[in-house]
Amino acid sequence: MHAAFVLPRFFPYRGGYENSVLQIARCLVGRGHGVTVFTTTAEDLESLWLAGYRNFPAGETFIDGVRVVRFPVSYNKLARRVTRFAGLVPYWRWRAQYWRPGFRVPGLLGALRTVDADMFHVGPLPYNNLIYAGIEAAERRAVPVIATPCTHFGEEGRSDVAKHYISPHQIALLQQCDRVLCMTESERSKLAALGVSAEKLAVFGLGFDAQLATGGDAPRFRAKHGINGPVVLHLGMKAYEKGSTTVFEAMRILWQRGSRAWLVMAGPSLRAFDDYIAPKLRDFPRLINLPPFSDEEKSDLLAAADVVVQPSRVESLGLVLLEAWANAKPVIAADIAVSRELVEGCNGGVLVPFDDAARLATEIERLLADSGLCRSMGLRGQEFAQRYDGESLWPRYAEEFERLVS
């Protein structure tokens, strides 16, 4: 079998989805299959739309037997405007190819049409044009296509987030797939209610590498950064939608009350967050803002944390929560369906309304003051996280691919 993956970014970019695709691809290669990953040169998220951000070299490379082909994004403004007009046509195929937040990737569709693949895997939303390209290539070859959409629904009763993931043309895209692999039961049930055939849907989740996430050296990290108090950790992409600004504002409240806790924020960030946080670094000595990290640094970060705070409203699973629990750390997450399913499923943390800094400050303060509660939450989460260990989950994906092709 030859499997083709189509996604916007790929390793060495270290996002949860990208890491999982790499591990699934490695698993397929280990089972004797061929794998080609088709992706863009984008490293920063904003480089998918704007020039001047970091990119990987275009062309072909191999990673552990996985063939990776990267195509540069076109920043031609005139061509983008023309395709946006085409996206106004109320036909799902045109909307999927040309409407926001699409971007032009010259050469990608031609390569997909000629690759000798037995199946295609596409995702995640809302990168509709890439998903469509994979579906069209599968249709031309009359081979199956699997989607892992990682749908974000945001807060109940609000469309701020969901409108970018569940438009009619996006549901039509998923309906064209032979299989749609969901992260949670809440995602499965919502997609079924929106019109994706129930028989196409299955709950798989994404696995995390427990060996890479655990075993860190907390004293080493604390000594390196001169930390002499409790650590509140915010890990991963830093952006408003991820709750990053709310985390800082909550800690500002606690520092004004005299708290000696430290806030460590680590990972890539959007430009808007960089502009927001830059002046704060001078005025708040217990704020540490770190760039993207290595695997060793991540395990040290998680080992040093007392509480992991991820009040994000853009999640399809929440791998940071699982990695925190693997280290027996309590978590604080935003009260959205997916996080509720995880946190209430194991009582391993606390839920707060999105963008409520005062409530978040109260819960951080409560957990830091009760080490016994932190310990019990962390241990319950640790037991729960075992079901998402990638060593058992990644082969399930490979088996599903083999089943669908056969």
Residue-wise DSSP of 293-328: --HHHHHHHHHH-SEEEE--S--SS-HHHHHHHHTT
Residue 72 pLDDT: 98
Domain ranges of the chain: 2-207+389-405, 210-388
Residue 25 pLDDT: 98
For the segment 309-332, what is each residue's pLDDT rounded down to a tens digit?
999 999 999 999 999 999 999 999
Count of Cβ atoms closer than 10 Å to residue 76 Cβ: 12
Residue 332 CA to residue 309 CA, distance in Å, equals 5
> What pTM was computed for the model?
0.95
Query: Model confidence at 286, in pLDDT bands (50, 70, 90)?
Result: very high
How distant, in Å, are the alpha carbons of 111, 116, 274, 369 from that of 398?
Answer: 24, 19, 39, 45
230's CB contacts (< 8 A; 6+ apart) are 260, 261, 262, 306, 307, 368
Summarize the confidence of residues 154-175 as an average pLDDT: 96
Query: Model confidence at 235, in pLDDT bands (50, 70, 90)?
Result: very high
Summarize the confidence of residues 228-232 as an average pLDDT: 97
Residues forming beta bridges with residue 74, ordered by sequence position: 104
Residue 227 CA to residue 294 CA, distance in Å, equals 20
Q: What is the CATH number of domain 210-388?
A: 3.40.50.2000
- 287-303 burial, b at 16+ Cβ within 10 Å, e below that, comes to bbbeebbeeebbbbbbb
Are 167 and 95 contacting, i.e. CB atoms less than 8 angstroms apart?
yes
Q: In the chain, pLDDT over 70 holds for what percent of residues? A: 100
258's CB contacts (< 8 A; 6+ apart) are none
Residue 319 pLDDT: 95
Residue 64 DSSP symbol = T
Residue 81 pLDDT: 85
Best CA proximity match to 109, nearest among 139, 89, 64: 139
Residue 210 CA to residue 224 CA, distance in Å, equals 24
Best CA proximity match to 352, nearest among 370, 334, 364: 334
Query: Model confidence at 109, in pLDDT bands (50, 70, 90)?
Result: very high
Query: Model confidence at 349, in pLDDT bands (50, 70, 90)?
Result: very high
Amino acid at 373: L
293's CB contacts (< 8 A; 6+ apart) are 266, 267, 301
- 14 pLDDT higher than 90: no
How distant, in Å, are the alpha carbons of 3, 15, 56, 57, 63 from that of 12?
Answer: 20, 9, 9, 12, 10
CA angle, 102 then 154 then 133, to 5°:
25
Query: Model confidence at 155, in pLDDT bands (50, 70, 90)?
Result: very high
The answer to whether domain 2-207+389-405 and domain 210-388 are alike in fold is yes
Residue 180 pLDDT: 98
Residues forming beta bridges with residue 180, ordered by sequence position: 147, 201
- 221 pLDDT higher than 90: yes
Residue 134 CA to residue 7 CA, distance in Å, equals 9
Residue 158 pLDDT: 93
Residue 309 CA to residue 333 CA, distance in Å, equals 6
Residue 42 DSSP symbol = B
Residue 85 pLDDT: 85
295-304 and 319-326 helices, crossing angle to 10°? 70
For the segment 363-402, what is each residue's pLDDT rounded down to a tens digit?
999 999 999 999 999 999 999 999 999 999 999 999 999 9
Residue 370 CA to residue 373 CA, distance in Å, equals 5
Summarize the confidence of residues 183-194 as an average pLDDT: 98
Are 355 and 246 contacting, i.e. CB atoms less than 8 angstroms apart?
yes
Are 33 and 121 contacting, i.e. CB atoms less than 8 angstroms apart?
no
32's CB contacts (< 8 A; 6+ apart) are none
The chain-wide mean pLDDT, for the chain, equals 96
First to last CA, the chain: 9
For the segment 192-208, what is each residue's pLDDT rounded down to a tens digit?
999 999 999 999 999 99
262: phi then psi, degrees, rounded to nearest 5: -105, 145
Residue 344 CA to residue 339 CA, distance in Å, equals 8
Summarize the confidence of residues 287-304 as an average pLDDT: 95
- 37 pLDDT higher than 90: yes
Residue 60 pLDDT: 98
Residue 86 pLDDT: 87
- 80 pLDDT higher than 90: no
Residue 84 pLDDT: 86
64-73, 79-88, 99-108: range with highest mean pLDDT: 64-73
For the segment 265-277, what is each residue's pLDDT rounded down to a tens digit?
999 999 999 999 9
Q: What is the CATH number of domain 2-207+389-405?
A: 3.40.50.2000
Summarize the confidence of residues 148-175 as an average pLDDT: 96
CA angle, 26 then 310 then 347, to 5°:
90
Residue 166 CA to residue 268 CA, distance in Å, equals 26
Coil, strand or helix: which one is 211? helix
